[in-house]
Amino acid sequence: MSKELAKTYDPQGIESRLYKKWEDNGYFHATVDRSKKPFTIVMPPPNITGQLHMGHALDNTMQDILIRYKRMQGYNALWQPGTDHAAIATEVKVIKALKEQGIDKNDLGREKFLEKCWEWKDEYGSRIVNQLKKLGSSADWERERFTMDKGCSDAVLEVFIKLYEKGYIYKGSRIVNWCPVCKTSISDAEVEHEEQDGFFWHINYPVIGEEGRFVEIATTRPETMFGDTAVAVNPDDERYKDIIGKKLLLPIVNREIPVIADAYVDKEFGTGCVKITPAHDPNDFEVGKRHNLEEIVVMNDDATMNKNAGKYAGMDRYECREKLVAELKEQGLLVKVVPHSHNVGTHDRCGTTVEPMIKQQWFVKMDDMIKPAVEAVKNGDIQLLPKRMDKTYFNWTDNIRDWCISRQLWWGHRIPAYYCDDCGEMVVSKEKPEKCPKCGCTHMTQDPDTLDTWFSSALWPFSTLGWPDKTEELDYFYPNDVLVTGYDIIFFWVIRMIFSGYEQMGKAPFSTVLFHGLVRDSQGRKMSKSLGNGIDPLEVIDKYGADALRLTLITGNAPGNDMRFYWERVEASRNFANKVWNASRFIMMNLEGMEITEPSKDQLKPADKWILSRVNTLAKDVTENMDKFELGIAVQKVYDFIWDEFCDWYIEIAKVRTYKKDENKESANAALWTLKTVLTQALKLLHPYMPFITEEIYCTLHPEEETIMLSDWPVYQDAWYFEKEEEMVEHSKDLVKGVRNVRTEMDVPPSRKAKLFVVSDDASLRETFETMKEAYMTLASASEAVVQADKTGIGEDAVSVVIPGATVYLPLEDLVDFEKEKERLTKEKERLTKELARSKGMLSNEKFLSKAPEAKVQEEKDKLAKYEQMMDQVEERLAQMK
């Protein structure tokens, strides 16, 4: 073997070199090959503004494990990568960068601003891709896409026109999430709900025509009352049946509003009377539609009050709130103020509290489009893992609202709608019309709005493969097989891809969605900038290597469950890597200069057959787990096998034979062949999880091989199933563990060898222990092993170890230096005599018993019981010595 492994495992020294080798050789690249079965994963596109965080690291590690596994199984595996233009995030970053140069976005103008955005994308857009490469992601970077590249932009235009012509896209006024700072509508995905301390203001609305009678409402946003157009009560609420249909006088505004009955109102919550503000609350908006209520917007785009707020016009919403509450109090209409903690929506980009507001926007009609997406999960065409995600999925599809797709931004896909400057006629088309079809005017202006980022990423599974063109790739690699993503974007992205897949392609975009949880800090908190508890995956990689990070993220990971990040666990993963490295070095050093040939079955020792049988079963189990996407369970089995069965047992058993190469060449050859074969299998099973270390070891162990990446995945084979030998070794392991425990308890140094008598009345078991002597004697520090049917010839003072089906006896004189042990026990007896006297003295002292705390007295009683037990043991051992 010409190559050899470095003395110590140094991830920094190998990872970038190996990644370059993989890329240079095109191992990640997949081309259409009809002779192979395709397997496709599409990467959730990270934002071009993004910096790799632990969520990305987990998400991409899981995808890489699956793609490497399928590649080794012989599939034509495509992991389709790409990045997202991230409309708001990028625009915010570019505006901030310009501001630092003293440039205002509006002074620059749209075209110049977009040039700056593209410059920003060119400079920073590839940063996260390079970070994903450091993680070991084996995506097909030759096929990398961007949501605003020409192909994806063509797909967006195609879908917009098709949906518009079908009547699924329309322009209308509905409630949207409005950010008063960024001055744009934003999607639910960009709204972060945070618990905030607020108040319920209880306000009396006078009943018209009934002097002194009021309806008490409770609100967390008093400033919206200028837009109230009704008060609703539940139709079954006995308290309010008599006022349904009556009129109330809206305080301050002095406008008449009706009392309406609507089942939306919860009788048990608050006062049972709800103010209805259709222009500023999504639920009120729906109630308003049902009762034909007027929609009154009371705020400007910057969240200052508009003319509908009367004398409060021009005030900021919170200043208005303060002054309005004071006026209500003055008028005697403020009943009480109750502290109330509630979820408040804030814009994830700028932290501003979002204002639900009625706006003229572009929407996608969802009622019909969502139907195939519901059916697909119901009938199992699409499987959500874990299964409990079905409930979340249906909860959203059952309550779906039309999707607001327009954004008041410049960076993004511009809406392909054009308006006639003269008559206002609107035309939706891919190209700008030369003239107005209604009045013939040649001045047409394009809609200034852009599309929601999710509109383009909803097409990702097919737009990345060349759609709307009918490409070979699209025909071969679509639909994708698996989507791996966090459970937090099930609504915003997963469902949109599903209904888009059915609408545009006529079939599901993928057959399985594997959800993972969040990576939290060691205290279980969500990682965030505000808490300052985020951990940079690149820092972990620099310190411990990508393999250690990957193993940490997957170990103990179950689909859909959050996990906690501990540095100690990364340390443990690094220790495992060291263990694998050192074991591999030991094997290779022993293989050096040896001509190893495959032994016959008869030449294999029971221990060889045992480890072959174990790695054989491991291959079957791991494959089953991975096919069920139980990645955490699979890697735990590989880890346990390598650390425990292979390193701690088999290598230790085989060592004796490798040291005696010249004495018994056949036995040494069988041991070395087994070591190399099992290490090869174990490396392959570990490769998807820890690609770098397995590549380095495998290519050193097999210099004739190009890469482990394209080697065959281990498959279960009947020829390697050895049930009898598995039992034989398990019995030997029981013996070694039992003897080691006794030696530890008696503090016997490892160098002190002892004779073993193995007694069993079971003839087949005796045969096992006879055959396995070579395997267990070294591990049990035995000088000799005698296997017999009864206790004949075993001294009375022998220490016994009971194991399943047998008892092992160790002569006491082999374990103990009698004189030294007597001396030690005598000293221990003297120490315990003093302790017992002290303890008994304290417990017979009335003063101590009456004054000391109960816990202290109990502690002393526990000590006495412990000393008495220890004294019994010492005296028993001394009696044995005599």
Q: Note the pLDDT tens digit of each residue in 211-254.
A: 889 999 999 999 999 999 999 999 999 898 899 999 999 999 99
Domain contains 741: yes
Whether 674 contacts 608, CB under 8 Å: yes
- The span from the CA of 272 to the CA of 280, in Å, is 20
Domain end point (choices 765, 797, 816) = 816
Same domain as 340, residue 318: yes
pLDDT of residue 24: 97
In a 10 Å sphere around its CB, with 0-12 CB exposed, 13-18 middle and 19+ buried, how is residue 100 labelled? exposed
Domain end point (choices 691, 721, 751) = 721
Same domain as 707, residue 606: yes
Same domain as 664, residue 704: yes
Of residues 174 and 734, more confidence is placed in: 734
* Residue 311 pLDDT exceeds 60: yes
- 819: pLDDT confidence band, cut at 50, 70 and 90? confident
Same domain as 676, residue 758: no
Cα–Cα distances in angstroms (integers) from residue 568 to residues 544, 635, 640, 842, in the given order: 11, 18, 18, 44
pLDDT of residue 818: 73
Question: 181: which 2 tokens?
Answer: 């700072």
- 426: pLDDT confidence band, cut at 50, 70 and 90? very high
CATH number at residue 690: 1.10.730.10
Domain contains 77: no
Q: Note the pLDDT tens digit of each residue in 592-646.
A: 988 899 999 999 999 999 999 999 999 999 999 999 999 999 999 999 999 999 9
Domain contains 461: no
Q: What are phi and psi of 170, to 5 degrees?
A: -145, 165
Same domain as 860, residue 877: yes
* Residue 820 pLDDT exceeds 80: no
Number of domains in the chain: 5
529 known ligand binder = yes
Q: Note the pLDDT tens digit of each residue in 829-849.
A: 999 999 999 999 999 998 888
Domain contains 756: yes
Whether 189 contacts 229, CB under 8 Å: no
CATH number at residue 848: 1.10.287
Q: Note the pLDDT tens digit of each residue in 485-498.
A: 988 777 778 999 99
Please report the DSSP string for 586-627 in residue order.
HHHHHHTT----PPPGGGS-HHHHHHHHHHHHHHHHHHHHHH
- 1: pLDDT confidence band, cut at 50, 70 and 90? very low
Same domain as 854, residue 741: no
Mean of pLDDT over the chain: 92
Domain contains 767: yes
Domain contains 366: no
Domain contains 680: yes
Of residues 186 and 655, more confidence is placed in: 655
Q: Note the pLDDT tens digit of each residue in 256-282.
A: 999 999 999 988 888 899 999 999 998
Same domain as 326, residue 251: yes
Same domain as 739, residue 659: no
Mark residue 561 as left, alpha or beta (left: phi above 0; alpha: psi -120 to 50; beta: remaining).
Answer: beta
Same domain as 855, residue 806: no
pLDDT of residue 529: 67
Q: What is the mean pLDDT of residues 669-674?
A: 96
Same domain as 232, residue 207: yes
Domain contains 758: yes
Q: What is the pTM of this model?
A: 0.85
Name the percent of the chain lying above pLDDT 70.
Answer: 99
Same domain as 767, residue 628: no
User: 124-133, 348-357, 404-413, 583-592 — which is least confidently predicted?
Assistant: 348-357
Domain end point (choices 429, 448, 467) = 448
Q: Residue 431 belongs to what domain range?
A: 415-448
* Residue 189 pLDDT exceeds 70: no
Same domain as 833, residue 810: no
Q: What is the mean pLDDT of residues 783-803?
A: 89
